[in-house]
Amino acid sequence: MSAAPSVSFPLTLVRRPQSRRIRATVNHEGVRISAPSSCSDREIDAFCRRYQSELEAAWARASSASQTIDYTLGAAIPYLDQTLTIHLSQAATLRGCIAAQGDTLCVVTPLKYRGDLRSLILDWYHSEAQHHLHQRVLHYAAQMGLTFGHVRIKEQRTRWGSCSSQGNLNFNWKLITMPRHVVDYVVVHELAHLVHLDHSARFWKLVQQFAPQWQQAERYLKQFRVVF
Ligand SMILES: [Zn+2]
């Protein structure tokens, strides 16, 4: 196994006997390089380095196009590292119930359901965010040897998290739709503010220690354009 080229976009490499030269295709999932079977890793690496800035720019364009969540039956919605397919149960209960089971989001509607699947799912996202973020804060606070006040989940337009001078932490519920490594980075970022109130070198050193993926996560957050 050879080391993958060090690039900042997701990269898939395929080798094809019939290819005559190295080609790159770019979509919102990343960059796909197809190369002749005879091509060495070094040649592929050199290709990626030569076109790195163009490939990065193309990927940024492809991945920043906004995505609108579809709340209809059978549609797929993002949840941490997964995508869940919405499934509506035949049954109904007084309060209704939503649960993720494998790759499915099972929705049992409340008796007074008026067909608004979106608001049911947004409520579910909110309570999942509450649960998941609380767990991750407890986990990292223990690792970092920190104590905190309250953890609150908020509807925020532009902020992913914040930390008050009383040690209270606020997080955006939309984090629950993002990959786990991104959520963990935001948690570590806010906890690190309990130690350093600025974005100094000492702050980033602490973040790096507990969330070494922070640069990748920052890029993800900058490109996040999901409409809920
Ligand atoms: Zn900050």
- Taking the centre of ligand 1 as the mean of its atom positions, its distance from the CA of residue 60, in whole angstroms, is 23
Beta-bridged to residue 15, according to DSSP, are 35
Cα 200 to ligand 1 centroid, rounded to whole Å: 10
pLDDT at 36: 93
Closest Cα partner for 110 from 91, 84, 87, 123?
91
122 C-alpha to ligand 1 centroid (Å): 26
Going from the Cα of 165 to the center of ligand 1, the distance in angstroms, rounded, reads 13
Cα 186 to averaged position of ligand 1 atoms, centre (Å) = 9
> How many CA atoms within 13 Å lie on the side-chain side of 128?
20
Please report how the helices 117-144 and 180-192 are oriented relative to each other, as an axis angle in degrees rounded to 10. 50
Residues with Cβ within 8 Å of residue 161, at least 6 apart in sequence? 169, 170, 171, 172, 175, 186, 187, 189, 190
pLDDT at 146: 97
Specify the DSSP element, H or E, that contains 93.
Answer: strand 82-93
Distance (angstroms) between ligand 1 centre and the Cα of 90 equals 46
φ, ψ for residue 118, nearest 5 deg:
-60, -45
Instruction: Read off the tokens for 212.
Output: 């070494």
Domains of the chain: 11-64 (no CATH), 116-227 (3.30.2010.10)
Q: 148 CA to middle of ligand 1, Å?
A: 16
Instruction: Identify the bridge partners of residue 101 per DSSP, sorted by sequence position.
Output: 104
CA of 185 to the centre of ligand 1 (A): 11
Rounded CA-CA distance 124/127 in Å is 5
In the reported structure, the alpha carbon of residue 48 is separated from the centroid of ligand 1 by a whole-number distance in angstroms of 33
pLDDT in tens, the chain (228 residues): 344 556 778 888 999 888 889 999 887 778 889 999 989 989 999 999 899 888 888 887 777 677 889 999 999 999 999 999 999 998 889 999 999 999 999 999 999 888 889 999 999 999 999 999 999 999 999 999 999 999 999 988 779 999 999 999 999 999 999 999 999 999 999 999 999 999 999 999 999 999 999 999 999 998 888 888
**pLDDT value of residue 28:** 72
Burial class of residue 59 in the structure, from the number of CB atoms within 10 Å of its CB (0-12 exposed, 13-18 middle, 19+ buried) = buried
* 112 alpha carbon – ligand 1 mean position (Å): 43
- 222: DSSP letter: H
pLDDT at 53: 86
pLDDT at 5: 57
**CA of residue 154 to ligand 1 center, whole Å:** 17
Interval between CA 193 and ligand 1 midpoint (Å)? 7
| Closest by Cα among 40, 68, 44, 41 to 55 | 44
Please give the Cα distance from 142 to 147 (Å, whole number).
8
